[in-house]
């Protein structure tokens, strides 16, 4: 559901497939997106690829909240790779995920390249 013209928020949905379709349709056409908030979203498989593509292609994205999305090390790697090419994200929240040591390393590597993150 869209809260503001430049912000998108989606919480857990009952249907995994429907949540993915809704997110993809709502976000892929929003090049002016400023903030992306996904909570309890179970961001795996195609969902994490979609999120990664949004990070890569949205130069206006400043805040990224992906808390409690069950992001694992592979997902953290994809996010890290996307952040390497995105200089607009200033705030990244990834609390309560399943990132582990490998995911932490991937994100740390991204921060070596992208020094624009403030939080």
State the pLDDT confidence band at 53, using cuts at 50, 70 and 90.
Answer: confident
State the pLDDT confidence band at 87, using cuts at 50, 70 and 90.
Answer: confident
Task: Give the residue among 2, 119, 3, 4 at the shortest CA–CA distance from 65.
Answer: 119
Entry field: residues in the chain: 119
Q: Give pTM, 2 decimals.
A: 0.78
Please state, in angstroms and rounded to a whole number, the distance separating the CA atoms of residues 115 and 67: 22
Residue 55 has pLDDT above 60, yes or no: yes
Give the pLDDT confidence of 32-49 residue by residue, as tens digits. 778 888 888 777 778 888
């Amino acid at each position: 559901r869209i809260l503001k013209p430049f912000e998108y928020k989606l919480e857990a949905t009952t249907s995994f497939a429907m949540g993915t379709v809704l997110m993809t349709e709502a976000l892929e056409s929003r090049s002016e997106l400023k903030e992306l908030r996904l909570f309890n979203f179970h961001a795996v498989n195609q969902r994490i690829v979609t999120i990664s593509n949004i990070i890569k292609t949205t130069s206006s994205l400043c805040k990224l909240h992906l808390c409690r999305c069950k992001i694992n090390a592979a997902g953290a790697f994809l996010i890290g790779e996307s952040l390497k090419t995105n200089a607009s994200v200033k705030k990244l929240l990834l609390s309560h995920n399943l990132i582990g040591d490998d995911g932490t390393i991937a994100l740390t590597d991204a921060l070596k390249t992208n020094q624009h993150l403030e939080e």
